[in-house]
Amino acid sequence: MSMKEALNKAGYKGSGNPQKSQHGYSGDRRQSEQRNAPPNIVFRANGQLRRELLTSDAENWADLLYDNKNGVTATQLRNFFNEVKALQSRIDAGGFAVNEAMIGLLKSKAAYAYARAEKKRKTGFEYLKSMIEQCVDLTFKSNDQKESEKAFNDFALFFEAVMGFFKGR
């Protein structure tokens, strides 16, 4: 790519500063970098686990995380999935209440992973962070401990489905 092409791509129009949009981003770059809002995750409808959660929703999330080979790597995603499965085992052995704080910690771990992600993988990590945050929030949506435990198990199932679709790429 020539210098002129690079400057044009960056929104540079000649002398002076590159032209900036109202958002402070130059040229068309903002539009090409604009991300779709992450879809909302819903575990249950009418008290029943949604079939779409483990099929089409999980596949869509896997696509977002993969981001055309520029998203989260399989190893990075597997590390988060292993955390969730380990927490599920701890909850089965010791109860939900004593592990409640560790579920909340998943949000900060996702935020940390996003902050450390290399630039080309930011989009995938942004979606991973959103997915974890939504699932943890859904886990704590109810004040009933049994409902929260059921929601966490739904989270683990959903994550397992996402992993399957992700690895199937």
Domain ranges for the chain: 1-34, 44-167
Mean pLDDT, contiguous 10-residue spans, the chain (169 residues): 52 47 38 69 97 98 92 96 98 96 97 96 96 98 96 98 95
Torsion, Cα of 122, 123, 128, 129 (10° steps): 70
pLDDT of residue 141: 96
Contacts 24+ apart (CB under 8 A), 68-72: 70/120, 70/121, 70/123, 70/124, 71/121, 71/123, 71/124, 71/125, 71/127, 72/121, 72/124, 72/125, 72/127, 72/128
Give the rounded distance of the alpha carbon of 35 from its chain centre: 13
Residue 152 amino acid letter: F
pLDDT of residue 48: 97
pLDDT of residue 36: 79
**Cα(87)–Cα(96) distance, integer angstroms:** 9
pLDDT of residue 27: 38
pLDDT of residue 102: 97
Q: 130, 120, 113, 112: which is closest to 60 by C-alpha? A: 130
- Residue 160 burial by CB count (10 A; 0-12/13-18/19+): exposed, middle or buried? middle
Estimate the crossing angle of helix 74-94 against helix 145-167, to 10 degrees.
150
pLDDT of residue 61: 97
CB 74, CB 65: distance < 8 Å: no
Q: Enumerate residues 6+ apart whose C-beta is below 8 A from 89.
A: none
